[in-house]
Amino acid sequence: MRFAKSPSGKTMAIPRHLAIIMDGNGRWANERKLTRTQGHRQGVVAVREIVTNAIDLGIEYLTLFAFSSENWSRPPSEIRDLFGLLKLFINKDLATLHKQNVRVRVMGSRDGLEGDIVALLDKAETLTRNNSGLVLMIAFNYGARQEITAMVQHLAHEVETGRLKADAINESLIAQYLYSGGVPDPDVILRTSGEQRLSNFLLWQAAYSEFIFVDCYWPDFDRNQLELALVEFGCRNRRFGGVSVDEMELTPNALVSGG
């Protein structure tokens, strides 16, 4: 784990992988008598800021929940606007992301998406494929149960066609067949707006993530909010089902083996 000092002198732990449920655009707009779309637009400003801050702090993977499989139940005009904002973001920001050495990956189903948006997502992934900086995972048309279902279908097909033995299925193979294949599990899953649930986000990958819930709405999530969250992460004692190092008893065996 890497640590850094916040401007107020507190210790922040820097996660290797930070995943964010960007919630509260609608309420942010409501409180200002603005339209929900204006809230989402301000949400994109916060997206730009978190990308820059993640790079600056040396976070390696940033996953942003931009559109869930369940968001299809929103009014068609809001869905159109959200898709429009993603297109605008890629059209306007892709060159900058590329210059920032960001590798863009999109996780989610391409089913039901229009051709032009699929082409844009593909373009973003292809252009930035060889970049070695921050990996920006955009969860778009994403649902964890759908992801797990697709993984099971894929593995079942491999078994059916004889390319894979059922006994060879293990945790690391499952992880490899998820949309997030090759990406380490998130150290932190952060949700803004005060809601405290996972909403079908990264169900498999979240097994040992630390959950951080912050009260501010996504458009207000700035550098200061991020630093406060990372200070909180620094105070967590991650044991992964074991015991923390300072609780370990030095048994005679441990002394002999050095372990």
Binding site for ligand FPP (CB under 6 A): 22-27, 40, 43-44, 47, 64, 66, 71, 82, 85-86, 89, 138, 193, 218
For 86, other C-beta atoms within 10 Å of its C-beta total 22
Instruction: For residue 222, indicate whether it is catalytic.
Output: no
| Contact between 54 and 246 (Cβ < 8 Å) | no
Q: Catalytic: which of 30, 56, 71, 185?
A: 71
- Distance separating alpha carbons of residues 228 and 240, to the nearest angstrom: 23
Least distance CB 231 / ligand FPP (angstroms): 24
Helix (H) or strand (E) holding 144: helix 144-160
Least distance CB 73 / ligand FPP (angstroms): 11
**CA quadruple 33, 214, 45, 72: dihedral sign:** negative
Least distance CB 192 / ligand FPP (angstroms): 9
Least distance CB 8 / ligand FPP (angstroms): 27
**The two structure tokens encoding residue 117:** 């948006």
Question: Which CB, 120 or 138, lies closer to ligand FPP?
Answer: 138
Helix (H) or strand (E) holding 258: none
Q: What are phi and psi of 192, to 5 degrees?
A: -90, 170
Question: Which CB, 12 or 40, lies closer to ligand FPP?
Answer: 40
Least distance CB 181 / ligand FPP (angstroms): 21
| Contact between 28 and 218 (Cβ < 8 Å) | yes
- Distance separating alpha carbons of residues 223 and 88, to the nearest angstrom: 23
Instruction: For residue 71, indicate whether it is catalytic.
Output: yes
Question: Which CB, 114 or 168, lies closer to ligand FPP?
Answer: 114
Question: Which CB, 13 or 121, lies closer to ligand FPP?
Answer: 121
Q: What are phi and psi of 31, to 5 degrees?
A: -65, -20
Question: Which CB, 76 or 241, lies closer to ligand FPP?
Answer: 76
> Mind spelling out the 3-state secondary structure of 8-50?
CCCEEEECCEEEEECCCHHHHHHHCCCCHHHHHHHHHHHHHHH
Residues labelled as active-site residues: 23, 71
